[in-house]
Amino acid sequence: MNKIAAEDMEYINTRVDHEKLDGTRVLISGATGLIGNYLVRFLAQYCHGTVLAVVRQPDKARSLWGDLGDRVQYICSDIRELEAVDRSVDYMIHGASVTSSRSFSSQPVETIDISVEGTRRMLRLARKNPVKGFVFLSTMEVYGSPLTDDKIQELHGTNLDTMSVRSSYPESKRLCEAMCTAYCREYGVPARVLRLTQTFGPGVAYEDSRVFAEFARCAIEGRDIVLHTKGDTRRNYLYLADACTAILTVLTRGTDGEAYNGANEDTYCSVKDMAELVASRCARSPIAVKVEPEKTAREKFGYAPALRMNLDTSKLRGLGWKPETGLEDMYRRMIRSMMEERERSVR
């Protein structure tokens, strides 16, 4: 664990409900993902309990948490094939999902199947093994493509086009939210939904294909940032450690059958604005931002349609949560982590 991640662990430690979490057993799907990795390490190391990590690659999992010993136990399974667990569970966090924008368009069937069947299996497990809290990690994309800068609360509608292949991701997430509500009302599963905005921080892979990671690589390598669209999409962002505190807040303090938006409202900006911030304040040497739109960029790279996703987080903040890390610091910490990863890979 690098220095930044250790600092983040200490930060999370001061903002969670230890009375409810300490000594518990938490099952996490999507455990080796960016958010899942942080949650596993925090809960196992700082809450003195046991984490049941659902993983497909046990060797990768052991490389991440080998130092934590039997505080992390592995359930080796594809989320679509998850069966009953022979151990009691206090809480469940369901984060397993396709995350690559390109995959939403190139593998829409798999995207839907992983979301829907994986969620059904997790909810069925929560029904058979009654838990104190269940959090489903959803997405801001369930709101479609808002066209104004108006604040978006949890009851906001959607303009998603079911005939767009990329809708495989947000539409399957919407169905999973409905499944959470159904299991909550019919079977008493304490399911809660957290709709996260785009989240990043230390641990993002150097070759990650998402736009924010490409901006970071340009800053590290001294390359100009090239935008393949006008960069007019506007949205909020959220730092990884703040996302973890949001998840654990909803897990321990949220209301069953409710959804919550998770974002840092102060980070609301356009993609072009974010690129210019990285170029002017985070790059190791001067770089420029170039706008070179491609007519087929959205299809080629799997980008969402142009939108204005200005999330209102007052409902989540009403539980006592608030984010602390702004966009510039998010980038500085992620860039340091990516540089460390690159240096390790060439040794």
In this structure, is residue 166 part of a structural domain? Answer: yes
In this structure, is residue 215 part of a structural domain? Answer: no
In this structure, is residue 289 part of a structural domain? Answer: no
CATH of the domain at 90: 3.40.50.720
Residue 52's pLDDT is what? 97
pLDDT of 294 > 90? The answer is no
Residue 29's pLDDT is what? 98
3-state secondary structure of 277: helix
Q: Per the structure block, which two tokens stand in for 24? A: 């518990």
pLDDT of 73 > 90? The answer is yes
Strand partners, 227: 291
Q: Percentage of the chain with pLDDT > 70?
A: 96
In this structure, is residue 87 part of a structural domain? Answer: yes
pLDDT of 302 > 80? The answer is no
Average pLDDT rounded to a whole number, residues 213-220:
97
| Weakest-pLDDT range from 17-21, 97-101, 173-177, 340-344 | 340-344
In the structure, what pLDDT confidence band is assigned to residue 101 with cuts at 50, 70 and 90?
A: confident
Quick: pLDDT tens for 304-322.
Answer: 678 999 999 999 999 999 9
Q: Per the structure block, which two tokens stand in for 12? A: 């999370």
AA identity, residue 228: H
**What are the CA-CA distances from residue 94 to residues 39, 114, 192, 193, 337 (Å)?**
11, 12, 10, 10, 26
pLDDT of 3 > 90? The answer is no
In this structure, is residue 347 part of a structural domain? Answer: no
**In the chain, how many domains are there?**
1
Residue 304's pLDDT is what? 64
User: Hunting for tokens 């990043």 — which residue is that?
Assistant: 200
CA 163, CA 167: separation in Å to the nearest integer? 8
In this structure, is residue 84 part of a structural domain? Answer: yes
Q: State the helix-helix crossing angle for 211-221 and 271-281, rounded to 10 degrees.
A: 20
User: CA Rg, the chain, in Å?
Assistant: 19
Please state the pTM of the whole predicted model.
0.95
With 0-12 / 13-18 / 19 or more C-beta atoms within 10 angstroms meaning exposed / middle / buried, residue 347 is exposed
Residue 295's pLDDT is what? 63
Average pLDDT rounded to a whole number, residues 326-336:
97
Residue 10's pLDDT is what? 96
Q: Per the structure block, which two tokens stand in for 339? A: 């540089």
DSSP summary character for residue 22: T
| Parent domain of 113 | 3-202+239-266+308-326
In this structure, is residue 331 part of a structural domain? Answer: no
In this structure, is residue 141 part of a structural domain? Answer: yes
Residue 100's pLDDT is what? 87
Residue 95 — φ and ψ, nearest 5°? -120, 0
User: What does 198-211 look like in DSSP terms, one character per residue?
Assistant: EEE-TT--TT--SH
AA identity, residue 287: I
